Amino acid sequence: MGNIIFIGMPAVGKSTIGVVAAKHLGYHFIDTDLLIQEKEKKLLREIITQEGLDGFLKIEDRINAEVQAERTVIAPGGSVVYCENAMKHYKEIGTVVYLKASYETISKRLGNAERRGVVLKENQTLEDLYNERTALFEKYADVTICEDGLDLEETFELVFTTLQNGKYVTD
């Protein structure tokens, strides 16, 4: 179906790179955090407060697994890798691209993780979350792009070149 799905930690640029990639390729763009808010008619933080983290993940799994798209760049939230149905669906409809950055890079970009909407379990640190998710990102990735030391333009060029060279993108 020619879709590209960006996964990775918060602050790797899934949405930013996604919008640029979509414009460059002439694709559509979907930010699934916005899609969840639209379908649930609530902000993500309100859903998490009302439903708890497990309830939010069920909603996230359902909505991501229902995405129907062709020639679309999709940027799900970082926690989508906990959602088996969603990730199975994404593997079936496109190329999953892991935008990888070191813990140090993520920590520096995020600043205060909670203010950026990163949900941590009780007594969980950002580093714990990073280590937990990294294994899942690697499990689901068709392509991994390491963006450490790269600016936004360099990251985009690397993403686009890698996808084109691997024949994941068709003009």
Task: Tell me which H or E stretch contains 6.
Answer: strand 3-7
Domain harbouring 111, CATH code: 3.40.50.300
Does the residue 67 lie in any domain?
Answer: yes
Q: 4 has which bridge partners?
A: 73, 95
Query: What is the residue range of 76's domain?
Result: 3-155
Q: What is the pLDDT of residue 171?
A: 46
Does the residue 65 lie in any domain?
Answer: yes
Number of domains, the chain: 1
Q: Is 49 exposed, middle or buried (0-12, 13-18, 19+ CB in 10 A)?
A: exposed
Q: What is the pLDDT of residue 167?
A: 58
Does the residue 143 lie in any domain?
Answer: yes
Does the residue 168 lie in any domain?
Answer: no
Indicate the average pLDDT of the chain: 90
Size (the chain), residues? 171
What pLDDT digit, counting tens, does each position of 35-79 carry? 999 999 999 889 988 998 899 999 999 999 999 999 999 999 999
What pLDDT digit, counting tens, does each position of 109-128 carry? 887 666 566 777 888 888 99
Average pLDDT for residues 32-37, to the nearest whole number?
Answer: 95
Least confident residue range of 92-96, 100-104, 147-151: 147-151
Q: How far is CA 118 from CA 77, 90, 96, 167, in A?
A: 10, 22, 22, 34
d(CA 39, CA 134): 28
Does the residue 7 lie in any domain?
Answer: yes
Neighbours of 114 (CB within 10 A): 10
Does the residue 129 lie in any domain?
Answer: yes
Does the residue 60 lie in any domain?
Answer: yes
Does the residue 167 lie in any domain?
Answer: no
Average pLDDT for residues 91-110, to the nearest whole number?
Answer: 92
